[in-house]
Each structure stands twice: as structure tokens, then as C-alpha cells.
Chain A
């Protein structure tokens, strides 16, 4: 079963963080990605550009209406994801707890719809 770990965190807090904190965080994400790769569970994952750069599209009367900004303004923003291949939800929750985001934000775990 593939699971998507959706990473939500406070972007403003990320921007305000000092250099040492940022370096520590990057190190933690690199180590986590590496660990998932070594364990053979990593399918993919990316960090996203800040939500301020997001655009939202909807069809209205057959025409696309484009809005500036993310789908929802929230305290924490969707900032990246991992896709992991794991046997069950327990394993997915273990990997979510290890993810550095769990420490400074929130990780949402969802099973991927099998095609």
C-alpha cells in the first residue's frame, strides 16, 4: 500500500528561523529521505515553493477562473510530501512520526487510491 505523507508547517516560522536552525532542519530532512531510501520504502517526495506562489484554478461557465494564492488560507501551509510504500497504516504512522515535519508542523497520512 502506498501512503502519502502531506507536510504542513508554518511558513512564516520557517522564514524567520535563524541559519543554524535551518541547517539543522535541512540536515534532518536529508537524513530522513536517506533513511526511507535505504529502507526501500521511498517512492517519491518533494518540497514545494511557498504557498504565496500558489495559483488556484476552477472552471466557471466553461472558462477557467484563476485565483492568486493557495486553496485555503490556514495557519500551517501545505509545503511538501513524501510517498512511501508500506505494509499497513501502523508502518505509515511510524514513518510519519519520524518525519522532521512532525516536530515543527503536522503530517497528514493518507493511503493512495490503488489504480
Chain B
């Protein structure tokens, strides 16, 4: 069936929205720092596009069309505020700036200020847990309800937090720019962390049962592509993208036909997406050549060693242990220590790996961390301590939220008692 003109216009507007949303918000908010008003103006422009484009046909440069309309809306809105507040010099000045801003960008050549916007959203003065949601909203145009469901927060609370963050950016005047070199590493890290947390959220939902979450992994990669493209000389930006692509490449292998969880070691490498792996490897190589290693490059390198099993048929656990040693130096994270202990099961002995887990047992973060208890259960079983393994499986099962993983752990536990 042929698409109606309205549908075509709608689809065209939706594509423009995805590709241009953040770009246009960044431009519209650049002068005033007021993201909320920029978004309001932009949503009016999208509404105008949906009304206009089916009649007139889509414009040659949709970005420029949307930008022009949104700017007009911003100016109108500022003027009507002025009428309400005649005394405000500030607002008059703002309207003037707005009109100036209209002049200084030639229509066809819209600069990309999304990176500056991302740095504002991931500013250290913005609460850490709201940074990823804020980036998803301002760059990709997600609504608060969709973000709230992904982050398991009520829509009202998420809405309030997003509004609060945007108000702070505008009133405290958090700058829209790339930080100076001494701060760049830390600030970039916050941007990358926000992107990674969006990706991880989607990644955790392996079955793709929640359409919004499955999408979130894709959006995380999209943001990672954007940052890597805009900062091609930052090895950690490339490293993060490589890491996400490696993980995404294994997505088809993480569940079998009956929807059961398949652990990495049991996955069939033939199911991995070679195109994604090749891209990840190329990115990691480029990053490595810059001689500035970091957390994401190291984590991507671990994934790269796992991916090599596709060709060699085996996993180089020694290399993985070394990489986790390096990661431990960079992050001192208990999760890294846990993964290193698991690698030591292969490179050293079950006893040594268990001793490493014992050292971790004091960390309060491990108490509710499912992978810790699953690893512990596996190691206890291998060392013949069935009672301890059973108790650890019980704990892991109680902490797991994914039904497929829970079923897997329950099978492991049942097998334990049979033998």
C-alpha cells in the first residue's frame, strides 16, 4: 500500500526529529542556556512541520526549516513575556540576542553544538544520577515518561528532576562549551558514563521484552557514535564505542531458541555479529595507537579477547587477568576485582579465586550484587563445598530480576544437589 502524504510527512518529520533534535536544542539554547524553552519552541516547530509539510512537501533542508520556525516561536514567546513584564531589561536584552542569533547562522550550514550541550548536561554541578536521563532527553528528545520507565522512577519524579536540572543549567549559567584541557578528561568521563549507563540499561534487558529498554541500548550506541565522531582524537570516546559494539555483537547469542540465558563461555561464536566486532576492533586499534589508555579501552580490550574465541576457539584468560589488573589500578572497583577473581579460576586455581572473593566479601556493595553470588556459587561447587554453593545460588536467585537468568541459576542449583 502506498503511504499517504500525511504519513510520508510524519515519517519525514520523525526522522528529522531523531537526527536533528539535539542539534537544534543545542543551537536554540546556546545563547540563553534555557533548555526547557528551547524544547518548547522546537516542539511547536515540529507541530508546525506536521501541519505544513503534507501540503507543501518536505523542505529541502528540514533542519534549517525547523530552526527558523523554532527561533520565530522563541522570539514570539519572549516578546509576549515582555508585554507581561515591561520593566524587565533582562528580557528585552534576551529578545535582542535572540534576533541577533537568527542572523548569525546561514541556513544551510548549521553547526553542531550537541557536544557542548552534552557537556552542560553532564556538568559536575548537575546531580550525577540525572545526567544520563538529561542527555537522553535533550539530545534525543525522549519524553520524561519513557525515560522514567527505563530508569525505574515514577514519571512525576523524573519530570521534576529533569525540570530542576534544566532550571539549574539556565539560572546558574552552566556553560555550553567544551571544558578546558585540564578538566576535559574528568568531564568527558561524566559524558561517557552517562552514555554508558543508558546503554547498560538497555543491555540488561537481554530478551528485549521491554521495547523501550531494547531501544535504549541502540540509543546509547547512537550517542557513542556521535561523541566518537565529534571527538575523534579522544581515545576513551572511541574505547566506549568499541565496548558497546562488542557487547551488542553478542546480543543474538545471549538467549537460545527457548529464551534461556546462555552464559558467555557457552555462547556459539557463529551467532556473534561479525560486522559489529570488526568495527569495534578497528576503533580499539585506533584508540590504542593514541597511547592514552583508560577504563573504556581496557574494558573493550577484555571484550576483544573474548571475541577472539570466534577465530582461535579458545579464550586467553591470562590476557584477561592482566587487563583486569590494569583496570583495577584505574578504577579500584569491586566489580573489576570480582571479574579478575573469575579469570583467576582459569589462570590460577579455584582456591586462589575463592580467596580473592573472600577479600571482597567485606565490601557492602557485594551484598546485593547478583554476579558476586553467582560466581561464588560456581566456585564453591567446583571446590566441592556443596552446602556453601547451594546457599550462594539461593542468594543469587533471590537477587536476580531477569527471569531467564533466574531460571539458569535455578537449574545450576538443582544440578548441584543431584550430583
Contacts and interface: CB of A to CB of B under 8 A. Distances in A.
Interface in A101-115: 109-111, 114
Given A1-B173, A111-B171, A111-B173, A89 B90 contact: no
Interface in B140-196: 171-175, 179
A34 interface: no
Nearest to B33: A88
A89 B173 CA distance: 6
A90 interface: yes
A93 B125 contact: yes
Interface of B: 90, 123-125, 171-175, 179
Count chain B CB atoms within 10 A of each CB in A90, A109, A114 and give the residue with the most: A90
A109 B172 CA distance: 9
A93 B173 CA distance: 11
Give me the 8 closest cross-chain CB pairs, A-B, nearest first.
A88-B175, A89-B174, A88-B173, A89-B172, A1-B173, A111-B172, A114-B90, A89-B173
A31 B106 CA distance: 48
Interface residues of A, number: 10
SS of A interface (majority):
mixed
A88 B179 CA distance: 12
Contacts of A1: 173
A68 to B, nearest CB: 34
A110 B174 CA distance: 12
A93 to B, nearest CB: 7
Interface of A: 1, 87-90, 93, 109-111, 114
Contacts of A90: 174-175, 179
Most buried by A among B123, B125, B172, B174: B172
Contact of B175 (A89, A109, A114): A89
Given A1-B173, A89-B175, 16 more contacts: A87-B175, A88-B173, A88-B174, A88-B175, A89-B123, A89-B125, A89-B172, A89-B173, A89-B174, A90-B174, A90-B175, A90-B179, A93-B124, A110-B172, A111-B171, A114-B90
14 contacts: A1-B173, A87-B175, A88-B173, A88-B174, A89-B123, A89-B125, A89-B174, A89-B175, A90-B175, A109-B172, A110-B172, A111-B171, A111-B172, A114-B90
A49 B122 CA distance: 38
Contacts of B173: 1, 88-89, 111
Contacts of B179: 90
A111 B33 CA distance: 14
A110 B168 CA distance: 10
A89 B171 CA distance: 10
A26 B81 CA distance: 47
A89 B125 CA distance: 9
Contacts of A93: 124-125
A87 to B, nearest CB: 8
A93 B183 CA distance: 12
Contacts of B174: 88-90
A90 B183 CA distance: 10
A1 B280 CA distance: 44
Nearest to A88: B175
Contacts of B172: 89, 109-111
A110 B125 CA distance: 11
A93 B123 CA distance: 12
Nearest to B93: A114
Nearest to A90: B175
A108 to B, nearest CB: 12
B122 to A, nearest CB: 13
Contacts of B123: 89
B2 to A, nearest CB: 52
A90 B180 CA distance: 10
Contacts of A110: 172
B95 to A, nearest CB: 15
A109 B173 CA distance: 12
Contacts of A88: 173-175
